[in-house]
Amino acid sequence: MNADPAGVLTGAHFIDGDHACCEGAIAAGCRFVAGYPITPSTEVVERIAERFPRVGGVFIQMEDEIASSIAIQGAVWAGKKAMTVTSGPGFSLMMEHVGFAAMTETPCVFVNVQRAGPSTGLPTQPAQGDMMQARWGSHGDYQAIAVCPNSPQECFDLTIKAFNLSEQYRVPVFLMMDECVGHMTERVLIPPAEEISLVPRRWFLGSPENYEPFRAGPDMVPQMVKAGDGFHIHVTGLTHDERGYPNMSVPAQEKLVQRLHDKITKHSATIADYVEDQVEGADIVVVTYGITSRTALPAIERARKEGLKVGHLRLVVVWPFPEHRIRELASRISAFVVPEMNMGQVVLEVERCSAGKVPATLVGHTGGTVHVPEDIYQGIVNSRKGR
C-alpha cells in the first residue's frame, strides 16, 4: 500500500526534525494525534494542528499525557492510525498505557523527543536518557520496538517506519528522537506518495462468526477489526483468551504473554535495522544510535586516519536489540565503543552480548549537549589501550 498523495508534501524542505516527524506521520497515514505540550516535542503537534484539518486528521490537545496516550488507542480501535508525542516527564506518565497497548495489541506510535533528565532536568537540551525506559518503563513483561533517527530526514523516514512496524506487529513503537535532532533544521526530501510504502492495518476480512480477535496465525499477530463494523469485539487489559474475554488463569497468561513476547523476539532478525560501515575487518566497532551516529563520525574518521581499523555499527532500531549481530562481531573484533548521551544504557546490552569476549566501553555523559568528538576519539583510542 502506498501513501495517500493528499497528505504527502513531495519536494525538498528545509525543516527541523519535529516538523519532519509531523510530515512523516501524515505520510504514514496517521490521522489521529492526541498530545500535551512539552518541550522539546511541542513543534510536532503544533504543525499537526495546522496540517491535520487539511488532510482529514483530528488533533486534540488533551488534559495531560495520560489522556493522550489512551485517547490514541481509542482512535486506533476506531480504525485510525494514531500517535502521541512527548518528552521525558510526559513519557513517564504514559507508561501505564504503553503496557495497555502491548497487552491489547493496539498499534500506535509514541514519539519521545528526549531532553536531559532526570525529572524536569534541562528541558531544552538534548540527551538519550530514556532508552532503557523505552524498553522497561511499564510494569510486567512486554516487548516494544524503538527506532532512533539522526536527522530531520530520518525523522520523516523513521516516523513512517515506526507506523509500519507498529501495524505489522501490533505493538507500540517508540520513535526516540532527541532535542538536537528535533530542533535541527536541514533539507528533508519528501518523495512522491507512490514511493512511500505503507503497511496497512492487518484487517480481518471475514465475517463475525469466524472471528476471534486475539487468535493469531503462524506469525503470531492476530488480525484486527474496528469498532462500528458489527463484530462486537471485546478488548481488555486483563489477561484474556482468543475471544478477548478475561481469563484469570495461569495457562491463559502463559499463552497470551508468551505470544506477545515471541511475536517480537522471533521476528527480531526481520525487525533489526542497522547500518554498517567498515565493520568487516574492523578492530574496534563504534556502536551508535540517533544523533551519536553523526557526532561519532569525526572521531571515527580521525581514528581511521591514524591507522586504527574502526568500524561503525549504527543502530536504527535499538529495541529489540540486535543481539545476534553484536555476538557475531564480539568474536571477531577487539573492542566496542558505545557513545551515548546518557550514563550507560544501551552499552549494557552491548556488554552483555559481547559476553566478555571484548570490552564494551561507554563514552557517556549526563546529557545537555551532544558529544565533543574528541571524547569519542579518546574512547576509541582508550579501548585499544584497555587491552
Phi-psi region of 216 (alpha: psi -120 to 50; beta: other; left: phi over 0): beta
* Residue span binding a second copy (CB under 8 A) among the ranges 55-63, 115-123, 212-220, 282-290: 115-123
* Residue span binding other proteins (CB under 8 A) among the ranges 68-76, 138-146, 168-176, 354-362: 68-76
Number of residues this chain uses to bind ligand TPP (CB under 6 A): 8
Nearest residue to 368 (alpha-carbon basis) of 118, 94, 44: 118
381 binds, among ligand TPP, a second copy, other proteins, none (CB under 5 to 8 A by kind): none
Cα dist. 102→135, 239, 313 in Å?
A: 12, 12, 29
Helix/strand/coil for 145: strand
Place of cell 564494551: 360
Is 365 a residue that touches a second copy (CB under 8 A)? Answer: yes
**Interacting positions 182-221 with other proteins (CB under 8 A):** 183-187, 200-201
DSSP 8-state secondary structure symbol assigned to residue 197: B
Angle, alpha carbons 82-226-53 (nearest 5°):
40
Among residues 7, 29, 129, 182, which is the contact residue for a second copy, using CB under 8 A? Answer: 129
Among residues 9, 10, 58, 384, which is the contact residue for other proteins, using CB under 8 A? Answer: 58
Provide the pairing of β-strand 108-116 with 145-147: unpaired
73 binds, among ligand TPP, a second copy, other proteins, none (CB under 5 to 8 A by kind): other proteins
* Contact letters for other proteins, residues 16-35 (x by CB under 8 A): -------------x-xx-x-
Is 62 a residue that touches other proteins (CB under 8 A)? Answer: yes
Is 137 a residue that touches ligand TPP (CB under 6 A)? Answer: no
DSSP 8-state secondary structure symbol assigned to residue 283: S
Q: Is 85:111 a contact under the CB 8 Å cutoff? A: yes
End-to-end CA distance of the chain: 51
Helix/strand/coil for 142: coil
**Interacting positions 272-331 with other proteins (CB under 8 A):** 291, 294-295, 297-298
Q: Is 131:290 a contact under the CB 8 Å cutoff? A: no
Q: List residues binding a second copy (CB under 8 A).
A: 66, 88-89, 91-93, 95-96, 98-100, 102-104, 114, 116-125, 127, 129-130, 132-133, 135-142, 236-239, 248-250, 253-254, 256-258, 260-261, 342-343, 345, 348, 351-352, 354-357, 365-369
